[in-house]
Structure 1
């Protein structure tokens, strides 16, 4: 359900919809996407510390993206959504690749 809400939020933001749900769903996407990626990378921690670090990391990613875009004078809502989605996807991809390598190394040993 959370993935659907985040996906709808990103879609509403990218399509420049006038829906009243655009703001809350987009905010949910901006927090959930990086938090999920960071939480996947911190799999070894217990639930509460991992949740806290994931949310703090998601806020940091969002702020760093906004700061970087403002610094180079390229701020746009669409650019911010796409950049956060790309960073989150890249982190999830790297976590998946790392786990696959560990499984392959265990099978060889």
Structure 2
């Protein structure tokens, strides 16, 4: 398992592969990624989170999600949390509630 108090210093990498977009961390040769789509030029639909089995999935996942939330704040993006771990993360951190897109129902056709 990977335990690192400097995990928040890792660079956030943006990658596109086969028409899919990812936010990623590269840690000691291991990968953590969060798939996303842009919706209406101002919303980031956060989809599938994948963390290497050799990493601490909760710690690394939360660090990656937090970094994406900070990126969204700085870029004035709204987010669509389409992943259970992201929804759980947001419920525990009210400071990021303002990032949730208010038009989720019209964008996705359902309420998150």
TM-score, structure 2 normalization: 0.30
**As a proportion of its length, which structure holds more strand?**
2
Structure with larger Rg: 1
TM-score, structure 1 normalization: 0.30
